[in-house]
Chain A
Amino acid sequence: MTALNKFSMTMDSRSANEGFARLVASGFAAQLDPTVEELCDIKTAVSEAVTNCIVHAYPDGVGNIYISAWIYAGGLVRIKIRDKGCGIADVKRAMEPLYSSLGGERAGLGFAVMESFCDKISVRSAVGKGTSVTLDKYIKGKDLAG
Chain B
Amino acid sequence: MLEISTSGKCMTVFLSGEIDHHSAAGIRKEIDAQTDRLLPQLLVLDFGGVTFMDSSGVGLVMGRYRNVSAHGGRLEAVNLSPWCYKIMKLSGLDKIAKIQMTGVQR
Q: State the interface size on chain B (CB cutoff 8 A).
A: 21
Give the size range of A's interface with the partner.
Answer: 20 to 34
Shortest CB-to-CB span from A98 to chain B, Å, is 7
B63 within 8 A of A: yes
Inter-subunit contact B55/A97 (CB<8 Å): no
A116 to B58, CA, bound (A): 15
Task: A55 to B56: give the CA distance in the assembly, Å.
Answer: 12
Q: Contact string, A23-53, partner B, CB cutoff 8 A, digits 1/0?
A: 0000000000000010010011001100100
Looking at chain A's contact residues, is the secondary structure mostly helix, strand, loop, or mixed?
helix
Please determine whether A18 and B20 come into contact, CB atoms closer than 8 angstroms: yes
B95 to chain A, nearest CB (A): 12
Shortest Cβ distance from A100 into chain B, in angstroms? 8
> Does A61 sit at the interface, judged by CB under 8 A?
no
Closest A-chain residue to B20, C-beta based?
A18
Q: Which of A97-114 contact B (CB under 8 A)?
A: 97-98, 104-107, 109-110, 112-113
B81: nearest residue on chain A (CB-CB)? A40
What 7 pairs between A and B have smallest CB-CB spacing?
A15-B22, A109-B55, A107-B58, A107-B59, A47-B54, A51-B21, A105-B59
